[in-house]
Structure 1
């Protein structure tokens, strides 16, 4: 990327997230100047092409933090936070931002997107950006492979994984592929302005994902089937009720029904999407 395309720097939001960290690392490798924004920035200062660990304070729910984070920025890698998106669009436009790459979700493509709490929040951000003067690129990943990290505690403690729909299919995508796709559209103007549905290369049930983890870890990973009500009780206090209901509805709809997968990771990055087995190998330590 040159200053003649999108300007001198990129703002990477959600600085503590796995995808944002991976995007920042790739920008640093390419010597693309960037600023990392985080709700909890840690050491003061802004990351740049050197990949320094500092970050600016940016809370996507607090418009007061927007001006300093956006100063001098021409391109934004944006997490989908709907709470203050109208204020963010207004401030970004005033700051001279030209291009926003949004980390959205393929859930917005569902027929129930406006009624599903998870999908609706992403859709609201998409709509606000598309109605603005900002050139917008939509990255719509399916299920994050890293959702499997939610099983780590039970696996470490030797207790069965409790699943309401072990036969529900997902399209798990490696966070490294999402980051690769993001950097591709951040750095190539020819790719900007599109909407890309990002999936892994396989449609896998939760039971199949656990079997993959079992093979990678070399030990049994048992699970038990529970009712949706039992699962909702398990996650109370961790997952808001409306989001829990949305997840349960999605899993019920995909129970025994394979997901469609796309080749858009390869189209954007030039390499095939990483398999769930590769993800498991990359994160095996988390389950040890």
Structure 2
């Protein structure tokens, strides 16, 4: 079996590569990347191309049985310009199965896959545990307090490896055609819970200062954050949808093992905060 992983150097894509190998070492993995010099595990075939330019990825679909798609283009999470063209290329190449990782919203790629003959599972993870490193590692390393709004906000945050493990099982085993799989961690945590767990992993107390919404906006603007992102974060953090703060059994149901906890993630990545 040959599987194409798009977004293969991203947070989830790189984990999909690892989880596929762990699930079945005989699987042939082809990684789509815009960077010909990308570092990938030994034995992974590199295909250079960009989902935003379908003519660059036609060869990547050749002799592929299944594809892990992302529904956005590049680091800015922009819309794919021709998702129907991508799906047509995949169908013409004989792709039988797919997973698609949603970005900000469900869009034309999902619609094109639903209208195709490709068996597709739609992955909808909640907040990534890895966001903690992106937002807080430099602050904690500097010995400063974590300063965020909405200290009592609830989150069923998920380990990226669990998102990938669900994707890997769906790609290899199938059986999830048309299903929307909400992927969460095993527990619901507040901001204070996360900071305390991280403190235990790092081995020292990390201070937390809760900001007002106005203070958070001022902080984010001082860091150069665009107004659109500030508005998105304010809504996402201040009005987290129910699925983002409710534990789903998807990881255990699909993979046969419990979802990884934030304590596990923090222990794995403690050095990033020291």
1:189–1:246 CA distance, 2 compared to 1 (3 A) = same
Q: Which residue of 2 aligns with 1:87?
A: 85
Q: CA RMSD in A?
A: 2.6
What is the number of equivalent residue pairs in this alignment? 263
Counterparts of residues 110-189 of structure 1 (less than 5 Å): 118-119=104-105, 122-149=106-133, 150-189=135-174
Change (3 A) 1:73 1:270: same
TM-score w.r.t. the length of structure 1 is: 0.82
Residues in 1 aligned to 2:86 and 2:218: alpha-carbon distance in whole angstroms:
35
Kept after mapping to 2: 8 A contact 1:19/1:178: yes
Tell me which of 217, 234, 241 is aligned to 2:202: 217
TM-superposed deviation, 1:87: 2.5
Instruction: For structure 2, list consecutive stretches of 5 or more residues without a partner in the other structure.
Output: 73-78
Q: Is the 8 A contact 2:67 2:97 kept in 1?
A: yes
Correspondence 1:36 to 2:31: yes
Deviates more, 1:195-204 or 1:80-89: 80-89
Shift of 1:54: 5.1
Is contact 2:126-2:156 (8 Å) kept? Answer: yes
> CA offsets per residue over residues 137-183 of structure 1, 9 Å max, x none?
11111111111112101001112212121211111111111111111
Q: What TM-score comes out, normalization by structure 2 length?
A: 0.86
Alignment match of 1:15 (pick from 8, 11, 14): 8
Measured at CA, do residues 98 and 163 of structure 1 come closer, stay the same or move farther in structure 2, by a change above 3 Å?
A: same
- Of residues 44, 55, 63, the one that matches 1:64 is 55
TM-aligned CA deviation for residue 53 of structure 1: 5.2
In structure 1, the residue matched to 2:76 is none
Contact residue 71 and residue 80 of structure 2 kept, 8 A: no
